């Protein structure tokens, strides 16, 4: 499917820096050394409700990854999916008595608008689960033929025991995995499974639910994890640089995806770094579509909030931190945006080369956006207090925050 329009990324003077980033699988910082074309897969939305600040924060993190790479003159090959058929989507459509396709299309369209307004760089390939089905079916058949999948009342499950590296992405103990499996779309209590954690690869058609021709699998629809594996392997191949998502995707989603890919290709890991963003909360609880404690990007936009201020509010938190959305967070961002806009509209200022370097260093070190914002704050404060004589500096600052932080002043 089509994605959304790209905003311009200005080229900056000087030299971009490489990226060190936290990898959940190894539990520490890794130095990524992509070739001339960096490859990144970011898990997309399940489009049954509007984009909330948690989604926006997660996509902001992976937008920064790309901006750091673009600054090193690399190309970025970015792939994102849309889980446009899955249980929560079908349940919401039924609850609201609307067609599930119409619901998915409406919310995906709104997501595109939100991403455009927030200046998030679009993926090169934006792929829906439904359109990926012809590529998913042969993968499930291969897993089954390799003895890594089995049938249970017509449904096909992946056997986690077929993967010697199972567990190496999330590094959790069995009890934690079981708990999270039940919370996040798994069915550990279903009788007849070989291992309670085994995830579904292909769900046989249910009455009243959409289904597709699955060849030798019979009619049905794809499981969640194989969806992302099929799309990632098709468009990026094995061993790409980053798989990204919120921390709630480490297990089971990214763990199971790595497992499927391991059995399919004999290789581990599917991604060189598994990068996870922290969870944004509202009123003390993780913002989630299922709980309904949400602040929507589109609602803020309708209320007249400048999307650039929303972006600054996201950037004020380190991507790996769990944090709480409050009115104060937004007010602080609006005030910072005013200060920055005033600063870059003055005719001159202190030289900006050191600031550009500081932003690069901050982002290169595990995407430390708060440190980057603090550096811009200091430049603006110095300009206000002591002025400056460099007439090129405000323009350089403006281009740097645009290119590296996606902030248009
Ligand atoms: N379609 C799947 C991924 S293949 C999915 O998880 N969709 S989602 O709509 O539920 O979430 C989209 C992205 O937003 C995921 O990366 C998820 O981890 C992230 N996310 C969801 N809630 C929050 C939150 N409260 N804070 C931060 N990120 C969140
Ligand atoms: Zn995914």
Contact assessment for residue 62 and residue 244, using Cβ atoms and an 8 Å cutoff: yes
Of 51, 246, 290, the residue with max ligand 1 atoms within 8 A of its CB, to mutate for a pocket test, comes to: 246
In a domain, 49, yes or no: yes
- For the chain, the domain total comes to 2
Q: Which of 244, 276, 297 is the last residue of a domain?
A: 297
Q: Report the residue count for the chain.
A: 409
Ligand with an atom nearest the CA of residue 52: 1
For each of the chain's 409 residues, which pLDDT tens digit applies? 999 999 999 999 999 999 999 999 999 999 999 999 999 999 999 999 999 999 999 999 999 999 999 999 999 999 999 999 999 999 999 999 999 999 999 999 999 999 999 999 999 999 999 999 999 999 999 999 999 999 999 999 999 999 999 999 999 999 999 999 999 999 999 999 999 999 999 999 999 999 999 999 999 999 999 999 999 999 999 999 999 999 999 999 999 999 999 999 999 999 999 999 999 999 999 988 778 889 999 999 999 999 999 999 999 999 999 999 999 999 999 999 999 999 999 999 999 999 999 999 999 999 999 999 999 999 999 999 999 999 999 999 999 999 999 999 9
For residue 216, the enclosing domain spans 19-297
Whether 132 is in the pocket of ligand 1, judged by its Cβ within 6 Å, is no
One domain, residues 280 and 372: no
DSSP state of 194: S
* Ligand 1 neighbour 83 (Cβ under 6 A): yes
CATH number at residue 213: 3.40.50.620
Whose alpha carbon is nearest atom 5 of ligand 1? 45
DSSP string over 307-373: HHHHHHHHHTS-TTS-EE--HHHHHHHHHHHHHHHHHHHSS-BS--HHHHHHHHHHHHBT--HHHHH
Last residue of a domain, one of 264, 297, 330: 297
User: 68 lies in a domain?
Assistant: yes
What does R_g of the chain's alpha carbons equal in angstroms? 22
262 and 335 both lie in a single domain: no
Do 108 and 199 share a domain, yes or no? yes
Angle, vertex CA 46, rays to CA 319 and CA 290, nearest 5: 80
């Amino acid at each position: 499917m089509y994605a959304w329009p790209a905003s311009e990324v200005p080229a900056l003077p000087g030299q971009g820096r490489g990226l060190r980033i936290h990898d959940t699988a190894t539990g520490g910082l890794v130095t990524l050394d992509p070739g001339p074309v960096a490859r990144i897969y970011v898990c997309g939305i399940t489009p049954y409700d509007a984009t909330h600040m948690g989604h926006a924060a997660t996509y902001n993190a992976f937008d920064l990854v790309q901006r750091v790479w673009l600054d090193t003159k690399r190309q970025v090959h970015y792939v994102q999916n849309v889980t446009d058929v899955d249980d929560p989507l079908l349940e919401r459509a039924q609850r609201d008595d609307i067609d599930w396709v119409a619901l998915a299309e409406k919310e995906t369209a709104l997501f595109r608008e939100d991403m455009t307004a927030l200046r998030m760089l679009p993926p090169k390939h934006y792929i829906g689960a439904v359109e990926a089905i012809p590529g998913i079916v042969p993968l499930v058949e291969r897993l089954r033929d390799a003895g890594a999948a089995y049938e249970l009342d017509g449904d096909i499950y992946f056997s986690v025991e077929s993967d010697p590296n199972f567990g190496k992405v999330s590094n959790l103990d069995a009890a934690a995995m079981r708990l999270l499996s039940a919370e996040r779309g798994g069915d550990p209590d279903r009788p007849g499974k070989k291992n309670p954690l085994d995830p579904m690869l292909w769900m046989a058609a249910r009455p009243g639910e959409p289904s597709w021709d699955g060849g030798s699998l019979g009619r049905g629809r794809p499981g969640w994890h194989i969806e992302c594996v099929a799309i990632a392997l098709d468009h990026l191949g094995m061993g790409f640089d980053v798989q990204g998502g919120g921390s709630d995707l480490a297990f089971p989603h990214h763990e199971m995806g790595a497992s499927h890919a391991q059995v399919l290709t004999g290789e581990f890991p599917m991604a060189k770094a598994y990068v996870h963003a922290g969870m944004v909360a509202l009123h003390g609880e993780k913002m989630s579509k299922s709980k309904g404690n949400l602040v929507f990007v589109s609602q803020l936009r309708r209320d007249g909030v400048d999307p650039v201020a929303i972006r600054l509010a996201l950037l004020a938190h380190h991507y790996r931190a769990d944090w709480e959305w409050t009115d104060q967070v937004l007010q602080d961002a609006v005030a910072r945006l005013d200060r920055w806009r005033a600063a870059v509209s003055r005719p001159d200022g202190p030289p900006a080369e050191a600031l550009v370097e500081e932003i690069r260093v901050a982002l290169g070190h595990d995407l430390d956006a708060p440190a980057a914002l603090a550096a811009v704050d200091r430049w603006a404060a110095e300009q206000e207090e002591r002025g400056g004589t460099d007439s090129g500096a405000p323009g350089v600052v403006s281009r740097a925050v645009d290119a590296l932080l996606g902030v248009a002043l």
